[in-house]
Amino acid sequence: MFKSVTLKEVAAKAGVSYQTVSKVINNKAKVSPETEKRIWDAIAELNYTPNYSGRSLRQQRSKTIGYTWEPSPPDQANPILDAFLQNMFRAAEEKGYYLLCFPFHADDARMLKVYAQLYDTGRVDGFVISRMNYGEPTVPYLLGRRIPFVGFGRLQDDDTSFPYVDVDGGAGIAQAMEHLVALGHRKIAALAWPSDSRVGNNRLEGYYRGLSKAGILHRPSLVVRGEGTSDVGFEATNYLLGLPEEIRPTAIVCMNDMMAIGAMQAIRQAGLQVGRDIGVTGFDDTPTARYLTPPLTSISQPISEIGENLTKRLIEFLETGIFPEPRCELVAPRLEVRESTSSYLPAGK
């Protein structure tokens, strides 16, 4: 910070007191039109910009929102990060807010300390948090300290203890199931996540819902659980392909695209053709999905709207003290149908 025009200089030029200039800027002023014009002219001429620290010291608010997220492993891009961030700070800027990004720490205690630090020093007015595991300590901590925040995701299906926006993963998978059933599939397997994943369970629930809606009875051997990686997808699919023919699945619903990628590899290696012989669906609609061979049917989340929505709600709260209704919102994802399912030839043999 080299130069810096202050209120006083503007005031001197306009021939008024500096407090009056302040009033004009925040239009809380009863000022004659002529003086007001003089002041605005002086502001323009000197190219005055209100000092952020001064302002925020006086107002006791930083007009800044904090956000951190868990870094994705090097072999896996975060498919939503860019859009999510962009939409958050775009929405924030409209209200004069900005987004402060800070490091993620795997150690919970350390992470909480960072949250506390950022808030207690007054660097941020509130947070957006997107990490929602079962034992996640951040939510109760912020809640307990009455630190404002909104969540991308929830901790329990029927959670109402804090404001959030979440994707209805179950509804997404249910859509995929409906699609598969319509194509004629009856033996549908699921590649699921470990049962300690809330998001995973939520999505899997859509699988069960899809089965019962189609009147298909559930076979436990058709649900395989594991980490959401392509390796797990690969192994699990090999297992499924080795099942006796009468229960061997003709379609595999995966809880994310990575598993679907692994599944596709396994199917191909078994000499079968993805899509035509066995349908595969993913979840996330990673940009990669459409470039796979064949292009992968997947479920895409309305990230942009969520980012904007969350930000606006948080700011609304910061300014007024009340969260706009509904406090908790569930948005539906959309099924993107591609060749990995659409090219199915039932009873191919």
Note the residues at the interface with DNA (CB under 7 A). 4-8, 15-20, 22-23, 25-26, 28, 30-32, 34-36, 48-51, 53-55, 57-60
Considering only residues 40, 102, 208, 323, which one is a binding residue for its own copies as defined by CB under 8 A? Answer: 102
Cα angle 69, 71, 74; round to 5: 160
Q: Which of 15, 52, 157, 221 binds its own copies (CB under 8 A)?
A: 52
| Count, residues in the chain | 349
- The answer to the question of residue 190 lying near its own copies (CB under 8 A) is no
Report the Cα 94 to chain-centroid distance in Å. Answer: 20
95 Cβ contact list (under 8 Å, min separation 6): 312, 315, 319
58/146 with CB nearer DNA: 58
Which residue, 39 or 176, is less far from DNA as judged by CB? 39
Closest CA to 169 of 135, 138, 192, 196: 192
List 38, 219, 276, 290, residue binding its own copies (CB under 8 A): 290
Nearer to DNA, 4 or 161 (CB): 4
Nearer to DNA, 35 or 86 (CB): 35
Omega cis (within 30) before 137: no
Q: Is the distance from CB of 104 to CB of 163 less than 8 angstroms?
A: no
Distance from C-alpha of 89 to C-alpha of 308, rounded to nearest angstrom: 8
Q: Does 134 engage in binding with its own copies (CB under 8 A)?
A: no
- Shortest distance (Å) from residue 123 CB to DNA: 12
User: CA neighbours within 13 Å on the CB side: how many for 252?
Assistant: 36
Q: Which residues would be at the binding site for its own copies (CB under 8 A)?
A: 1-2, 4, 47, 49-54, 56-57, 60-62, 64, 71-72, 74-79, 81-83, 85-86, 89-90, 93, 98-104, 117, 119-123, 125, 146, 230, 261, 265, 268, 286-288, 290-293
